[in-house]
Amino acid sequence: MSVNLLDYDLEGLAAFCERLDEKRYRSIQLFRWIHQKGARHFDEMTDLAKSLREKLKTSACIKPLDVISQRLSADGTIKWLFDVGDGNAVEAVFIPEEDRGTLCVSSQAGCAVGCRFCSTGHQGFSRNLKSGEIIAQLWYAEHFLRQQSGTTERVISNVVMMGMGEPLQNYDELVPALKTMLDDHGYGLSRRRVTVSTSGVVPMMDRLGQDCPVALAVSLHASNDVLRDRLVPLNIKYPLGELLAACIRYLDHAPRDFLTFEYCMLAGVNDRVRDAHEIVSLVKTYAPERTWCKFNLIPFNPFPESGLQCSIPSQVVEFSRILTEAGIVTTVRKTRGDDIDAACGQLAGDVKDRTRVVDRMNRQRTVMLRKKLSV
C-alpha cells in the first residue's frame, strides 16, 4: 500500500527510507523537497537518483488535501475548506498582519468536547485528522501563498492550532505535525511561533511539555468550576485546580511567556466585574507572583444555535482594566475574517452535511478554475 509521506516527521521519514535501504541524508533531501519546495511528484526531485524515485513511486505518495473552497475577507484573511473524505471537511485560516502571517490549523473534523459557545463543538465529533492531514493545511497554504506573491521566501511565520478540534485529544497525530513545523528541514518555525490551544486535557499537557514544548494557549473562559463545567464540559473531568497545576508544570519545560489563557467574553455569563475579580483571586491562589500569567480576551463570535451574546465593548474594557491593574498582562483579540465566517469558533466545516459540501465543492472548484485561468 502506498504511504502518504506527509504523515511523517523527519524521524519517521528516515525510518521509512531505511526500510527502502536508503541512507538518512536521502530522507533529509526528500523532506526538504516536500516541505520547503512544495513538491508533489517524485520526478520533480531532480537531485534524487532515478532508481530511488522509481522505488518511491511504487511505495509512497505525497497526498495533499483537496480544496473545496477558498474565501477572501475584506481584511485580507483567507479561509480554505478542505475535503477530508466521507462528507467531512476542515478549515484553515490565514491571517496576514504587518509583522507576521499566521495560519490557524484544524486538528479534528468536529470536536467531542462540546463547548457551549463553539460552533465546531455544536457540530459534534466526526474523526481525528491524520498527521499528514494536519500538515497538509500548512503545506498547501504556504506554497499557495508563496506562488501567489511570487516569492520563494517563507510567508507563514506563525501557526496556531486553533481551528476545528481539540488538538490534545488527537495527540499522537498532532506531535509529528508539530515536529515538521519546527524542523529546520521542514518549515523551520520557532517554538514560540507554534501555539497549541487546548480546552484543558491535563495528561496530554504534561506529555506535550516533555515531547514538544511549544507555546500553549489554555481556553479558560470561567473563573470557577460551576460555570466552567457548563461552558467547557471537559472541566468535569479536569477541574480548574488540576488544570492550573498542569499549567505550572508546563512551565518547567517552557519559558513563562509560552503560556496564555484564552477567555471568550460572553455577555452576562462570564464578563461581569465580579467574574474579573474572581479571575484575579484564582490567579493569586495558583501563581502568587503572577508574572507568568497572560490573558487574551476574545470577543465571542455569535452563531444562531448558541443562544449566547457577545459582551459589549465597554464591558470588555472594564474586565481588561481589572485584570491589568492586578498585574495580569491582558490583551483583547482583534476579530479577523468574520465576514467570511473565519473568526474563532465560527469554523464548522460542514461536518454533517455531505450534500452541501459536495455542492459547494463543485461550485468552488469552478470558481477556483476560473481564478487559475485568469492568473
Query: What x-and-dash track marks residues 158-197 binding ligand SF4 by CB under 6 A?
Result: -------xx-------------------------------
Q: Which grid coordinates are listed for 235?
A: 472541566
Q: What amino acid is encoded at 48 in this protein? A: L
Catalytic pick among 22, 91, 173, 262: 91
Q: Does 107 bind ligand SF4 (CB under 6 A)?
A: no
Rounded CA gap, 211 and 190, in Å?
A: 15
Q: What amino acid is encoded at 179 in this protein? A: K
| 114 touches, from ligand SF4, ligand SAH, none (C-beta below 5 to 8 Å by class) | ligand SF4
Taking CB under 6 A as the binding criterion, the range among 33-41, 86-94, 109-117, 180-188 that sits at the site for ligand SF4 is 109-117
Rounded CA gap, 158 and 193, in Å?
A: 5
Whether 142 sits among the annotated catalytic residues: the reply is no
Rounded CA gap, 10 and 165, in Å?
A: 25
Taking CB under 6 A as the binding criterion, the range among 150-158, 177-185, 194-202, 358-366 that sits at the site for ligand SAH is 194-202
Rounded CA gap, 277 and 348, in Å?
A: 33
Q: Does 337 bind ligand SAH (CB under 6 A)?
A: no
Q: Restricting to residues 227-266, which ones interact with ligand SAH according to CB under 6 A?
A: 262, 264
β pairing state of 66-72 and 78-85: antiparallel
Catalytic pick among 104, 247, 293, 344: 344
CB of 127 to ligand SAH, least distance (A): 15
Sign of CA dihedral 180, 181, 187, 190: negative
Whether 212 sits among the annotated catalytic residues: the reply is no
β pairing state of 158-161 and 194-198: parallel
Among 45, 95, 104, 111, binds ligand SF4 (CB under 6 A): 111
Measured from the Cβ of residue 306, the count of other Cβ atoms closer than 10 Å reads: 18
Rounded CA gap, 287 and 14, in Å?
A: 43
Taking CB under 6 A as the binding criterion, the range among 35-43, 196-204, 319-327, 365-373 that sits at the site for ligand SAH is 196-204
Q: Which run of H or E residues covers position 78?
A: strand 78-85
Q: Restricting to residues 108-147, which ones interact with ligand SAH according to CB under 6 A?
A: 117-119
Strands (E), 86-147: 88-97, 100-104, 108-110, 125-128
Q: Does 102 bind ligand SAH (CB under 6 A)?
A: no
Binding site for ligand SF4 (CB under 6 A): 111, 113-115, 118, 120-121, 165-166, 199, 219
Binding site for ligand SAH (CB under 6 A): 117-119, 162, 166, 197-199, 219, 262, 264, 298, 300-301, 344-345
Catalytic positions, please? Answer: 91, 344
